[in-house]
Amino acid sequence: MDDGTASERTAGEVMAAYGEAWARGEPEAAFALYADDVVMRLPGRSALAGVHRGKPAVIACIDALLRRTDGHEATVEVLDRVVGERHVVMLVREVVRRGGDVLELRRANTYRVDGGRIVEIDIFEADQYEVDEFFG
* CATH fold of 3-135: Nuclear Transport Factor 2; Chain: A, (3.10.450)
pLDDT at residue 60 is higher than 60: yes
- Kindly tell me if the per-residue pLDDT of 1 is higher than 60: no
Q: How far apart are CA 77 and CA 102, in angstroms?
A: 16
| Positions of E strands within 10-100 | 34-42, 50-53, 75-83, 87-98
Percentage of the chain beyond pLDDT 70 is 93
15-25 pLDDT, tens digit each: 999 988 988 88
Q: What is the mean pLDDT of residues 14-40?
A: 93
CA dist 31 and 62 (Å) reads: 10
The pTM assigned to this predicted structure is 0.87
Q: CA–CA separation, 19 vs 2, rounded Å? A: 19
Asked whether residue 35 carries a pLDDT value surpassing 80, the answer given is yes
Over residues 42-70, the mean pLDDT reads 92
Nearest CA among 61, 9, 44, 36 for reference residue 120: 36
User: In the prediction, which pLDDT does 101 show?
Assistant: 87
- Residue 2 exposure: Cα atoms within 13 Å on the Cβ side: 2
Residue 84 near residue 11 (C-beta atoms within 8 A): yes
Domain ranges within the chain, ordered by starting residue = 3-135
Q: How far apart are CA 35 and CA 132, in angstroms?
A: 27
* Poorest-pLDDT segment among 67-71, 87-91, 104-108: 67-71
Predicted local distance difference test score (pLDDT) of residue 4: 47
